[in-house]
Every structure is written in C-alpha cells, then in structure tokens.
Structure 1
Amino acid sequence: MREFVYNAAPARILFGSGTRQRLPDEAERLGLERLLVLSTPDQEAVGRSIAEILGSRATGLFSGAVMHTPVAVTEEALAVIAASKADGVVAVGGGSTTGLGKAIALRTGLPQIVLPTTYAGSEMTPILGETEGGLKRTQTTAKVLPGTVIYDVDLTLSLPPSISSVSGINAIAHASEALYARDGNPVIELIAQEGIRALAAALPRIVDEPRNGPARADALYGAWLCGLCLGAVGMALHHKLCHTLGGSFDLPHAETHTIVLPHALSYNAQAAPRAMACIASALGSKDALSGLSALLERLKLKRSLAEIGMPETGISRAADLATANPYWNPRPVERDAVYELIRRAYAGEAPRADF
C-alpha cells in the first residue's frame, strides 16, 4: 500500500478562448472595484488592452515587472498601489508579472487575478522567489496564491515559437520534479504525466505552425497541469539550481530551466527509477533522458549556460550556493557532483549519470 497526503490548493480556473472578456464579471464576483493591471515593459500593450476590458474598474497600469521579482521593483509597484488605492491586482503575462503580483499580495493581502500569456505555471503555485543583493530567496505561503486564473488561449497565439518552447520545457521541469518529490502522491503522478504528455505533443506543432489554436490550447492545458504539480509538492535539486543560477547571474528563467533539466534528471536518474519511467512514458520514449533530448533537439533549443550569459568563473560559486542550503532531493546533494553537473550544463555537454 502506498501511503500519501494530498492537499489541493484552492483556485478558480476559467479556461477557453476569449475568456479574458469575462474579467469584469470576475472582478464583480470578487467585489473588486479598483484593480491595478500589471505587466512587463514588453507586454504593456497587452496590459492596456486588459485595462480597457476592465473599464472603470481599472485604476491604471504598472508595466515594470521583470525577471526574478526584484524587491526594488515590488516597492515601486507598492507605491503605485498606495497612490491609486487599488483593492486588487490583475497580472497579465508570464512568470515575471505573476511573481510581482504575488509579491504585492504577500505584503498587502490584496486579491489577485492572473491572465497567463506563457506556459510558466507559477500562477498555480504558492511559491514566490524574490531577488535582492544578487541572491534569490524562495518561500512557500498560501498568502501568494491567486484567487482566480483566467486562461485565454488567444493570449498565447502571438508568443514566439522559441519562447513558447523554453516556457513549455520550464513547465515540464515542474512536473518532472514532482514525480520524485518527497511528498509526492498518486494524484500528482497522474497530473504530472498528463501535463508532460500534453506539452511534449503540442510544442513541436507550435514550432511548425505558431498560430495553431488546438496546439496552443493543448500547451496551455499542459502548463496548467504542470503548474498544479509545482504548487502541490516540494521542489528538489533542479529548482534549487535554477533559482541559484537565475538569481545570482541574472540568467533568463525559462532558458535556464531548459538547459539544466536534462542534467538534473541524469543526476537523479538512478535514485528515482519510478519517476524516470513515468517521464519516459509521458514522452513516448524508451527512457526519460533520450526522450527529453529528442524533444529538445526537435525544438532546436540552446543547450549550454554559456550561451545564455553565465560566466565560467561562476560555476564554483553556483555550486557553493546550491549546496549551502539544499532542497530535499532523492539523491544526496554533494558539492563535487553538483559542480560537475553545472560544469556540464555550462559547456553544453550531453547529460550523463556517471557522477
């Protein structure tokens, strides 16, 4: 008998095409009258369109969200919140904007509505990572959970295929680690496999035909499921490494996850055979590592940390930081082995489970 505990995070999900038009009704349902819209600088136009849908319920737009949720940016947004007397926020975008909404909620208790435009999945988690002084610190608290998530497939149609691909692999990383989490359970195992399967099938179709609506719907569905996994169970070595690398060297979030994932899985492969079998099955491959490698090749993604801006001199520091206060992991986290993992990821070498 497999004993387990399963906790379901409360959330209201609206999924479909054109669902952003239901935003005013959702605001009314929540009793919100003064909503500040959040976006990144690149998605300011999308943010303004969401503010227009809200009409008189929108107090304005803060378009300063950036990667890794710097505390300084959160403080800027809080000043706008105070000046506008907002009673809630609407975050439209990917993980950067969702992170800002969570950081605001943590400090103010304001409710959030999230409209994802990528496959990051952070809208489904009680996890917040914030950066200050060159370090990224992560915490888990129900205070940052959005109350409503509106998935509108139409908002993802213009996401470039290259960004769609790394965002999707980022989501697959969430589900992959959930399969060997210390507090894993059969429910999350099923959700994780379905999320990986949906994304692995959809991403190549998106690369070939970026405005393929059914493929976009499948990818967003898969990302939602993978986000559920990340929100329901603990993280392990892969996420610790990515948080360390991203926060310390300002590396792009999804690209870092994409590059590190094969190496993190190889590190844990022998210690988590059941998880590897589940990943392989979801990918339709004989084994997890070859299946993931084939998918990454099909998507033509970068495979080395050097390509995305990590300095070679940072390998040793990253190994020190990642092992100083490690997350639980199915295989013991050892500094020399982690150093070798990061070195291989830096160089873009093929992952090997021989260390």
Structure 2
Amino acid sequence: MSDTTADDALVHGRLGDLPPEARLLLALARPRLAPAEQERIHRFLTLNGRDLDWGLLLDQAGRHGILPLIGRNLLAHRLVHAADGRTLAPYRWIYAYAYEGNRRRNHALADEYAKVIRGLNAAGLDYAIRKGPVLTEGVYVDVGLRRMGDLDVLLEPTALPEFASAVEALGYRQGHLSRNAEQVVPFDRRTQLAWKVGLPNSTLPYLKPAQRDDVEVFVLDPCFNLFQPASGIRVDPAEILAGSVDAVLFGEVSRRLDPVDQVIDVCVQLHTEATTLMYIELGKDLTILKFLDLVELLHRMSDQQSAELVKRVRRYGCKESVLYSLHHADQVFPDRVPPGLLTEFGPAGPDLLEVYGVLDGKPDRWEQSFAARLFDSRRFRMPKARSTVPGPRAVV
C-alpha cells in the first residue's frame, strides 16, 4: 500500500488540501471511533507516523481544545503502536497525562460547581446552566474527554442581586485574579461601566481562587440573554428559562436549556466568537471543539426536535448565526450535519461567511479561506481593527 492510499483514507475534501497533521487531528476528533475509523487511522500512522510534525500536532490539538480527546483515542485504541509493538508516535506520556489530567481537573471543577448549584437551589433562583458543564457530562459522558472551564448560568436580570448574594457566600467575588493568584481584585470603574453600558446581556464574571495545580481559578459567568445586544435580536430570558428542563449536574438536581435552545445557544455563541475581534485576538475564534460540540448535539436531536429547531430559529430571528455555524460544522465534519437543516436555512453567501467585526461596529472581510484560518495559529495578527472591550481575557 502506498503513502498516497493512506493519505486518501484521511482526506477532508470540503476543506481542500490540508496538511497531514490537520487531517489526522480531524480524524481523531471523535468521542467514539468505529472500528473502520480506527483501522484507517492506524494504517495512516503506520505508513506516515515518522514523517509527521508531532510538535505541530500537539500545538494544534491544544489550540483547538481537543488534546484530551485525541490523547484518549490514540492510547485507548493503541493507534500509536505498530503490529510488532513498536511506537508510531513520540511523547506517548503527553497524551496519557493530557487525558488523565483533564479528568482530574474536571472532577475538581465538578466538586466546586456542585456547591454553587446547591447554593442557587437554596436561594430559590430561576436559572439554567449552559454550555460546557452540560456538554461535558451530558454529551461526552466520559468526564476526561472535554475540557471544562467556567460555569455559565442564564438568569433574568432582576435575579442578579440574589445570585451575587448566593455565590459571594461561597467565596466568589467579581473581578480578576491577582498576579500571585491568591485573591480577586475588583475591576476598575472604566471596565465596570463599559460592560454595564455596552454588554447589558451579561455581567463581569465572579471568581474564586482555587490554589490547585490543576485548577487556577473557579469562574462563574452569569448572563441574561443568549443574544448579543448589537445583534438586534430580542428574546425574553423568561421564555428561555420557562422552557428549560430538569437535569442532574455534578450529582445535583439542576436546570439546563432544553435541547433545541441548547443547539441555538451553541450556534449563536460559535458565530459570535468566530467573528468578534476579542476572540480573534485571543485565537479562540475558531476551534474544532466548538464544531464538534454542535454536531454531537445535532446527532442527539429527534425529528420532532429538528422540526422545532426550524420554527424556533425563525421566531427568534437568529437564522444567520445558525446557518453560519451549520455551514462550517459541515465543512469540518462532513456528513455530520443533517442535510435537511442546511437546505432549510441555506444557502450561505459570502457576506455571511467572510465578514467579521460586525458586532464590534468594525466590519471587514477575511482574505484567507476558512480552512486556512482554521489551522493558522497567527490569524490573530490579520484583523485591521482591534477590540475595545476591556476586562477579562480567557481566565480559564
């Protein structure tokens, strides 16, 4: 068998001619690998493993938030071992530590966030947990696969004082972590005012120093709407909260977004971060993990929920965000997005797919293709404008 045949086994045609490290990364980015997928990857590594830039692969896996996941897949299925037992990839210990370290870290976060949920329940607050924690426990199941960060909580704005009282009793303070990571320093007045005026759909995060090797800080991120004010979309948070469903998170009775709103939330967040200057500057605008989250949620939707998704997207008026996210998820993970949804919301034109900075009031157009940007670690240098949003920058 030739190297070309092995390469063809991992081709990602919709993204064009990708380097072998990128193709391998995308092939491994699955919570579950079927036997045929395992065989294709193993054959590829047997023929090409020595020629790969493994440092680049590690960098990209970390940048895209999937290092624990690919580490588990490489080791659990013994994909880095040849038939005669020799190693096909260097740094095996890094993959083992990434998965095991993430598992322990997520358990530490779960123990702490369970206390927060108990506090919110005791206060009688109406809330819904969003994003990472729900995905880590409810979608990926194996707690070591997906890196968890802050606890995102949807509230009505009037509930913020009660929320603040409940979490401050647990040691949380609104601010940023000090240089020595031992205390929370209040944000300056300029930052507080900028968020209150310019970002009324959320408030600055609440932090609690963790003082652990695996967790530097615990972060609570309350918000009051799924949509950015600049988007022009107005949906009463009470409507979203009324549709939330019971859940058990971190062993505690809780509430989360219903499956349809959860997909919409992931799409809106993905579109916002992919096109907002602050996230572009952080290099967190495009990550494989975000697209993987979306296709995994879509995989779990029933036909009835898919039909409801179409209706609800139209009612909320968020078609552009959903189409943007579905289109690109289909590029990253071919055939994982139901074609009916793409047809329902499409087609996606260049003004939607190539323009960024709209929510910043500084619209511009990408010169690079999506595929090139997805794996370009220096794309943060490309935008002509800079973000003016003060405050936290990737605290977890």
**Common fold by TM > 0.5:** no
The structure with the largest helix share of the pair is 1
Larger Rg: 2
TM-score (norm 1): 0.32
